[in-house]
Amino acid sequence: MITLTWNRVVASLAIITEFLIFIIIGLALLEVYLYLIFHRKPRQKVLGAIVYGLESVDAALVLALFYMLLLRAKTPPASLLMFSTIFFVVSLVVIFLLSIPRSTHVGLAYLLVAPAFIGVLFLILYPFGYEIYLAFTNAALRTMRNPSFGLQYGINNFKAVFTGTVAHKATFWQVLIRTILWTVINVFFHVTGGMILALLLNRPLKLRGIYRTLLIFPWAIPQTIAAMSLRNEFNYMYGFFNVMLKRVGMQPIPWLQNPHWAFAAVVISNIWLGIPFMMVIILGGLQSISREYYEAAEIDGANAWHQFWNVTMPLLRPVLTPAIILGTVWTFNNINVIYLITQGGPQERTDILVTSLYKAAFSFYRYGFSAAFALVIFIFLLTFALIYLRVSGGLKAVYE
């Protein structure tokens, strides 16, 4: 067991501080480099070759270091890093001395976008690119040090996703059907329950602030803590649900032992956890709708039901569309609730695609297969989002 000591805390803080300093210095040098490119120009045409040559060498040097760090997964020698940093700083000073200011309309935009682009590059683009690369390898526990890359490996991985087992015994199609059922049930109750609660809270009520606080409480609790607590509530002997069933004279339910009841347990848990988020989103949309629309509808003789379908719902569409897409993606990929309550059991009957993916990667160490599996899930969700946006027309108001 690792004991947390003061020395370990200090050492960890030192590592974090060094990393942050490295990031800050790197971003500062990048901003200076972009400033010199877009906001400075050579004093004379003769000096242009020197200025543009140094800028090109700096760019090549940075790309070479990125290649070593990201693609080759090798840490450059300290001497090379020191030389590169000194050369980069000196070249920036030389470029500044050999140039003069110039006006530009896009320079400031690039300076502002550059830090965000670097973050996206490291946190999204590079991991996604490496995921694609890994899907076309035979990476596994025994081949992880030197995996082989090739088109045939990718074909085999994708073929195994659709024709073989994705975890132990369950096939992709079995888990996909269960995942779609899980997602549809949860999103339906999230939207319906959130809509009902939002409509109630949008009315003039006493102590409305207290009601909002209590209703948002399930969403405010960290999902890990909530899921582990709910697992205890579904205990056969001492869980809250079975205790209440016994008190009313009914037989206790084997929530976590029977596959059907186990699936019902995780669905109930996720519905309880997800309704508050949808309620907050819908309530914000309701409060942005002007009261004048309802007054005009009342003058035309529309009752409450007609007002809801002809005023509220159309005006909520730009809010509901991204909320439903986000809710679908989050529910589709929600590993916490299922893994912490049932671990996909019993007999893999509560597994969804992401829990099967987790087991394939970290229980069976099928890394190349898992990367291909993850890409299939990504394509499935991307296709759904594009089709839903097209069919619902939820973002039409944005374009108009």
The residues of the chain that CATH labels 1.10.3720.10 are 167-365
* Residue 254: Cβ within 10 Å count: 15
What would the pLDDT profile of 54-81 be if each residue is shown by its tens digit? 999 999 988 887 777 766 666 777 788 8
Q: Give the model's pLDDT for residue 150.
A: 92
Q: What single letter denotes the amino acid at residue 321? A: T
Task: Label residue 398 by pLDDT band (50, 70, 90).
Answer: very low
- 298 pLDDT above the threshold of 50: yes
Distance CA 291, CA 289 (A): 6
What would the pLDDT profile of 178-202 be if each residue is shown by its tens digit? 999 999 999 999 999 999 999 988 8
Q: What is the mean pLDDT of residues 268-289?
A: 92
Query: Which DSSP string do the residues of 262-305 spell out, in sequence order?
Result: HHHHHHHHHHHHHHHHHHHHHHHHHHTS-HHHHHHHHHTT--HH
Task: Label residue 399 by pLDDT band (50, 70, 90).
Answer: very low
Range from 54-58, 145-149, 368-372 that averages highest in pLDDT: 368-372
What would the pLDDT profile of 332-344 be if each residue is shown by its tens digit? 999 999 999 999 8
Q: What is the mean pLDDT of residues 263-288?
A: 93
Q: What is the mean pLDDT of residues 162-183?
A: 92
The Cβ-side half-sphere exposure at 381, using a 13 Å CA radius, reads: 20
When the pLDDT of each residue in the chain is averaged and rounded to a whole number, the result is 88
Specify whether the CB–CB gap between 304 and 232 falls below 8 A.
no
Q: Give the model's pLDDT for residue 345.
A: 85
Q: Give the model's pLDDT for residue 131.
A: 92
Distance CA 219, CA 181 (A): 22
Q: What is the mean pLDDT of residues 110-139?
A: 89
Tell me which CATH homologous superfamily contains domain 167-365. MetI-like (1.10.3720.10)
Specify whether the CB–CB gap between 203 and 290 falls below 8 A.
no
Q: What is the mean pLDDT of residues 273-302?
A: 90
149, β-bridge pairs = 137
Task: Label residue 25 by pLDDT band (50, 70, 90).
Answer: confident
Give, to the nearest 10 degrees, the angle between helix 313-332 and helix 172-201. 140
- 232 pLDDT above the threshold of 50: yes
Specify whether the CB–CB gap between 395 and 318 falls below 8 A.
yes
What would the pLDDT profile of 311-368 be if each residue is shown by its tens digit? 999 889 888 988 998 999 999 999 999 999 999 888 889 999 999 999 999 989 999 9
Q: Give the model's pLDDT for residue 355.
A: 94
Beta strands at 99-101 and 40-42: parallel, antiparallel or unpaired? antiparallel
Total-model pTM? 0.83
Alpha-carbon distance values, 20 to 23, 122, 255 (Å): 5, 15, 47
Task: Label residue 395 by pLDDT band (50, 70, 90).
Answer: low
Give, to the nearest 10 degrees, the angle between helix 353-362 and helix 172-201. 130
- 264 pLDDT above the threshold of 80: yes
Region of 207 (left: φ > 0; alpha: ψ -120 to 50; beta: rest) is: left
Q: Is the dihedral of CA 61, 63, 67, 69 positive or negative?
A: positive
Task: Label residue 279 by pLDDT band (50, 70, 90).
Answer: very high
Share of the chain above pLDDT 70, in %: 96
Q: Give the model's pLDDT for residue 195.
A: 94
Q: What is the mean pLDDT of residues 101-127?
A: 86
The Cβ-side half-sphere exposure at 22, using a 13 Å CA radius, reads: 8
* Residue 93: Cβ within 10 Å count: 12
- Residue with tokens 């205790």, as numbered in its chain: 243
Q: Which two tokens stand for residue 15?
A: 């590592």
| Cβ partners under 8 Å of residue 393, min gap 6 | 317
The Cβ-side half-sphere exposure at 267, using a 13 Å CA radius, reads: 21
3-state secondary structure of 149: strand
- 2 pLDDT above the threshold of 80: no
Peptide bond into 254 cis (omega under 30): no
